[in-house]
Structure 1
Amino acid sequence: MRVAIAGAGAVGRSIARELIENGHRVLLIDKSASAIRPERVPDAEWLLADSCELSSLEEAKLDKCDVVIAATGDDKANLVTSLLAKTEFGVPRTVGRVNHPNNEWLFTEAWGVDVNVSTPRIMSALVEEAVSIGDLVRLFTFRQGNANLVEMTLPVDSPFVGTPSGLVPFPDNCALVTILRDGQVYTPDAEQPLESGDELLFVVAAEVEEELEKILSPTSHGR
């Protein structure tokens, strides 16, 4: 897979290293000459260019890329890069970094963003996930399909503690993906009883999140 990353700062370089380790070809793009440091990621391609300029993206051969990641520290640049990648070059997948939480609403398919990654939201979700029991915590939003990855730590007073997961009346448009228990990852088994303290991961439609929380943790819901 060929991946172009706009923004060769600490974030862009870290992403590049991970992708290269996984066997992908990576191009790092930055408009600042001081950011072009090939020795920091020697296996990547490097390009001194402005990712908001159409001519620069043509030079980068974005039409040959499978994924474009807009990872600069400027939300406006990330939006423009994503939009050009999608509309002018037909890149199949775009990922946009959200630097300021107030701008998150802009990072949608209307601006060419398939997936947005908001650091403030992720950090907030991780804090909630670490301290919340009985509350549904949204970890990640899938832009395509209007679905979210959510987590709940099953409280001791849940009516379904001890109930096989196959007998729990989960709402439609909801799938139990995995169960984390005692440091182990379990594939959901319809006959396996749920235990208090289980971390349950679901892929669920946004409109049924409240229903799911109410089913599993009625005493905590809406508190």
Structure 2
Amino acid sequence: MKVIVAGAGRLGTQVAHVLSAARNQVTLIDQDDSRIDALHGRVPADLRIGDACEPGVLEDAGAHTADLVVATTGEDEDNLVISLLAKRQFKVARVIARVNDDENTWLFTSHWGVDTAVPAAAPLVSLIEEATSATDTVALLRLSKAGVNVIETTITPQSRAAGRTLTELAVPAGIVVTTVVRDGDPVAPAPDLRLREGDELLVVSHTATESEVHAVFQ
């Protein structure tokens, strides 16, 4: 599946990580060049600098052949414009948009090109499920066609992983930590990264179950 994610904030970055891990072709766009520069080498996606509200930016990102556009910017006005362009100008089959302000929910309809609106209060799993149309989720996400499990786990004060590095945890083969979200920002999961309370981990595996992943980190 070819996916364009507009908005490289915390949510957009997590969505790009998950969908890329599930072997989709993902392009991540943000108009903040410093934000995009910081993600090079950390997000397995095609990173583009530009305003996704501009038709030319979406076109250059491959909107004409995209299967899905996910608008995750922090501005509802931008998400609506992106959705409308994706649906009306580029005929994208599926458009998902995040609603930042609940009072604007009534606007996020097919009239603005939105197939599915996801409220700000909804967890990441809801957005990913909508984006992939997956119905057989296990933990965060299971894409049966790709055979990939993506599991989200949070480090608590009681977690055995708190204060330890990934090397010290001896993460079993077949379990890959794709990103660590710390204080709202994605951090590259280097072997010497010391995990701490509040860290959110996105873990990818073809074989491990949710309980097996939790046994490693919790």
TM-score (structure 2 length as normaliser) = 0.55
**SS of equivalent to 2:52:** coil
- Corresponding residue for residue 17 of structure 2: 17
Match of 1:49 in 2: 50
Give distance in 2, aligned partners of 1:19 and 1:59: 20
1:40 offset after TM fit, Å? 2.2
Deviations 1:40-76 (A, max 9, x none): 20x2001101000111111112011000000000100
Q: CA RMSD in A?
A: 2.2
Aligned to 2:40: 38
Are residue 6 (structure 1) and residue 9 (structure 2) matched? no
CA-CA distance at 1:39 after TM superposition: 2.2
Q: What corresponds to 2:86 in structure 1?
A: 85
AA partner of residue 39 (structure 1): G
Matching residue of 2:67:
66
**Percentage of pairs with the same residue:** 43
Letter aligned with residue 86 of structure 1: K
- The 4+ residue runs of structure 1 with deviation greater than 6 A are none
Give the partner amino acid of 1:58.
Answer: E
Aligned AA for 1:116?
A: A
* 1:57-206 superposed matches below 5 A: 57-120=58-121, 122=122
Cα shift at 1:119: 2.1
Pair 1:27 & 2:27 matched: yes
Bigger Rg over Cα? 1
Q: Distance in 1 between matches of 2:74 and 2:27?
A: 18
Question: What secondary structure does 1:80 align onto?
Answer: helix
Distance in 2 of aligned mates of 1:38 and 1:90: 30
SS at 1:8 equivalent: coil
Aligned mates of 1:107, 1:40 — CA distance in 2:
31
What 5-or-longer segments of structure 2 have no aligned partner? 136-218
Opposite residue 73 of structure 1, the aligned amino acid is G
Structure 1, unaligned stretches of length 5 or more? Answer: 124-138, 144-176, 178-223
Higher relative contact order (CA 8 A, sep 6+): 2
SS in 2 for 1:90: coil
Which whole-Å CA distance do the structure 2 matches of 1:58 and 1:16 have between them? 19
